[in-house]
Structure 1
Amino acid sequence: MNAIDRGGERKFDGGRLGPGVLVLVVGPSGAGKDTLIAYARERLAGRADICFARRRITRAVDATENHIAVDDDAFARAVAEGRYPLHWRANGLSYALGEEIVKEIAGGRIVVANGSRATIAEARLRFQNVKVVHVTAPPEVLAARIAARGRESGEEVLARLAREPMLAAPPELRILNVDAVDAAGERLAAFLRGL
């Protein structure tokens, strides 16, 4: 999928983006995906061949994730204009990877992104090389972590945990994130170093 500039709009011509690698870090809410991504970003700061995507989310910026807040109307316009190479809805919000990753992937870089299990198949259609890292934790750990964010009620936390889509194929790396951050984070960093 190659990007074409059409009067300031980015459209994709139907081919698959490459030759770089898109690493989707997926898993249930509360698994610690953002924490592990932040750990890997810090450890791999000197690697010019690895970059970390900032998602667009229809949620205000907070301390739990370094994302770009977009309102619903702007998000819908960007989707209609074909500006997001990958987008999805989950937990009542819209998420997307921004068009800047197109250049990184085209340049052969590794792009690491917090993704969604439900969008892996779509990612494989849009990108030549997709690697999946599945991060998870026991249900009681997930519930405690989600509740600690303070963004959802107890019922909303349970509803999040009930939406646990299965992976259609085994991931390239599975991380059970129950130990210290550096233990699980180093597994992710080591995986990225080896790509």
Structure 2
Amino acid sequence: MTMEAEAGDRVRITLGRGLFVCVVGPSGAGKDTLIDHARRRLAGEGDRFVFPRRLVTRAASTAEDHDVLSEEAFGAGVAGGAFSLYWRAHGLGYALPRSVEAALADGAVVVSNISRAQVAAARAAFARIAVVSVTAPDAVIAGRLAARGRESAETITARLARGKAVMPDRAPDLTIVNDGSVEAAGEKLVAFLRGALRD
């Protein structure tokens, strides 16, 4: 069941049997890489696990898996209640499609990379959520950000500092230190998601 929110509200209130898994952490921690690993590992398990593509007002790139949304379409979607969850960060608009609500209503485990600052909003939006925090040492994160080629060294330093200032609203359900192989860290996420489905 979905309770309608007023146009322009930050979230739409959703009641469902499923679980929304917020994957959070600083840029460069490897969130999307681990989500992609889990998506591939769980692909043969039907629609029990759903990995919605984020809508972002940034051009497509190999560094981030998302669907491109114009600023105009983002604003119209917010005003028209087209998103299950939306936020702005680093000058960009981010949103999740309304299909998230249907998947949760069907009892799926829905997994998405969201801003750490939006965890409280997700708690308000969805009946059941879990938080997976992905982190890595500063040197590892800085190296990954530099490899993307989108930011200067000064910007990366400032981003690392900002990341430390963002505090979660409560302790995460799982913390993954992603400083080794993708397989090692990715399997921790896979195990957590399978366990969440059984809960």
TM-score between both structures, scaled by the size of structure 2? 0.90
Alignment of 1:19 onto 2:20: no
Instruction: For 1:70, give the aligned amino acid.
Output: L
Shift of 1:3: 6.4
Question: How many matched pairs?
Answer: 190
Q: Which aligned pairs between 1:52-63 and structure 2 lie closer than 5 A?
A: 52-63=51-62
Task: Name the SS for the 2:172 alignment partner.
Answer: coil
In the alignment, the residues of structure 2 paired with residue 187 and residue 132 of structure 1 have an alpha-carbon distance, to the nearest angstrom, of: 14
Partner residue of 1:151? 150
| Cα drift, residue 53 of structure 1 | 1.2
Q: Distance in 2 between matches of 1:70 and 1:136?
A: 28
2:94 corresponds to which residue? 95
1:153 deviation in Å? 1.6
What is the DSSP-based 3-state SS (H/G/I as helix, E as strand, rest coil) of the residue aligned with 1:163?
helix
Identity of aligned residues (%): 51
Tell which deviates more after alignment, 115-124 or 151-160: 151-160
Find the aligned partners of 1:46 and 1:52 in 2 and give their Cα distance.
Answer: 13
3-state secondary structure, aligned to 2:112: strand
Kindly report which structure 2 residues correspond to 1:1-195, keeping only aligned pairs within 5 A, or say none. Answer: 2=2, 15-48=13-46, 49-164=48-163, 165-195=166-196
User: What per-residue deviation string (whole Å, max 9, x for no partner) do you get for residues 156-192 of structure 1?
Assistant: 2122212220112111100000011100000000100
Q: 1:154 to 1:45 in 2, by over 3 A?
A: same
Q: Which of the pair is proportionally richer in helix?
A: 2
Question: Structure 2: where are the runs of 5+ without partners?
Answer: none
Distance 1:135 1:110 in 2: 18
Q: What is the TM-score with the length of structure 1 in the denominator?
A: 0.92
Structure 1 residue runs of 5 or longer lacking an equivalent are: none
Task: Please give the secondary structure, in 1, of the residue aligned with 2:193.
Answer: helix
Describe the shift of the 1:3–1:12 C-alpha distance in structure 2 as closer, same or farther (beyond 3 A): farther
- Structure 1 position 13, deviation (Å): 10
Q: What is the root-mean-square deviation of aligned Cα atoms in Å? A: 2.0
